[in-house]
Every structure is written in structure tokens, then in C-alpha cells.
Amino acid sequence: MTTIEPTETTSGAAGAGALGTTASGTTAADVLRAHIRDVTDFPQPGVVFKDITPLLVTPAAFTVVINELAATAGGYGATVVAAIEARGFLLAAPVAYRTGVGVVPIRKQGKLPGETVSRTYDLEYGTATLEVQVDAFRPGDRVLLVDDVLATGGTAAAAAELVRQSGAEVVGLAVLMELTFLSGRDRLAPLEISSIMEV
């Protein structure tokens, strides 16, 4: 059985994204790669889904990854972490806790109580809408968006617009994996993006 040790992250400039290493020299990317399962033909034929469940059920590996994301939040000087539905919730809450900042859920339409603002964006097969409560962010907040995967960038772009609409600043996007062949980074430019691993 492999032992995974906590990461030690080198501090640096905001957004530098230097990957932390465990005491044994293993990077957060190595740990993440070892705890991702490919599921073919899900959610539709021809798609290879990157399942993070093996990461979530392995406390030592999950700790390494959360430490890495928390170091990113600190490097950007984030004062709020915004969780993009749904797997972003699983990552953003412990990152906010570890960093000592608040966490705000950005949800699919109709899931939040009270007054909300929304942003609709295009998908390959239609449209989707994200919402956030009107008072979730304040002018001057430095917001780090957190999600599991950066694919085409549509969801992240809509989330970023919701944050900016409130008068807060989006300091970056932190993800576990970036699917580089889908060029989501280009769509989000000039937003700073930090990914633990590229696919």
C-alpha cells in the first residue's frame, strides 16, 4: 500500500502555480493522476469521463490536492472562494476552510433561495444557466473560482461574469484538471488559470 504524505508548497508570486511536493518528492499532480478513474462512454457515447471518486475516498490523497488548491488561493490573495456546481462544491469548501476565507456556491438555475442573478451560456447540445445570490459577493472581494475540470470554458466564463456583475474581482480559476485539447483557457483569457494536471 502506498503512503501519501502532506504537500509542502513553495510560496511565490500570486498565480505562480508552483506545485507542492510531498516529503517523498511526489507532486500533487502525481497524486491526482493516481486517483482519477477513466469511465468510457459516460455521460454519452464517445466521452471519457474523468471520475474523481477515487480521490475523494482516499483521505491522504484528497488532503494533498486540497493543500495544493489552498496554496493557489493564498497565492492569488483570494478573500472568497466560489464553488462551481457541482463537483466544485466538494473542493471549494475545504479550500475555503484551509485558507480561512468564505465560500459561495454558484448553482444551476432554480437551486438557490432568495433573489439571484443569472447568466445563460451555450452548450454543445443547448444552453444552461448559472445563478448566484445577489448579496453573495461584495465590491472589493477577490474571488477564486474552483471546479474540478476546465473543458471548453463555458461554465467558468459564465461563473466569472456573475462574480464581476456583483462588483467583485475574479482573481483566477483553480481546477484539478485542464482538458487542453478543448482550449478552454483561450476562451477565458486573460483570466489566470491554475490546474494541477493537464490532460
87 has catalytic annotation: yes
Q: pLDDT at position 69, please?
A: 98
Model pLDDT for residues 31-90, shown as the tens digit of each residue: 999 999 999 999 889 989 999 999 999 999 999 999 999 999 999 999 999 999 999 999
Q: Are strands 48-51 and 37-40 parallel, antiparallel or unpaired?
A: antiparallel
The yes-or-no verdict on residue 134 having pLDDT over 50 is yes
Q: Is the pLDDT of residue 114 over 50?
A: yes
pLDDT, mean of residues 129-148: 97
Instruction: Give the pLDDT confidence score for residue 126 in this predicted structure.
Output: 80
Average pLDDT rounded to a whole number, residues 138-147: 97
pLDDT of residue 13: 34
Flag whether pLDDT at 5 surpasses 70.
no
Options 85, 87, 142, 169, the catalytic residue: 87
Condensed to tens digits (0 to 9), the pLDDT of residues 150-199 reads: 999 999 999 999 999 999 999 999 999 999 999 999 999 999 999 999 99
* Ordered domains of the chain (ranges, CATH): 7-198 (3.40.50.2020)
* Cell numbers placing 143: 474571488
pLDDT at 163: 97
Q: pTM above 0.95?
A: no
- Give tens-digit pLDDT for 6-40: 544 433 333 333 456 666 678 999 999 999 999 99
Choosing from 98, 115, 119, 124, the catalytic residue is 124
Residue 2 confidence (pLDDT) above 50: no
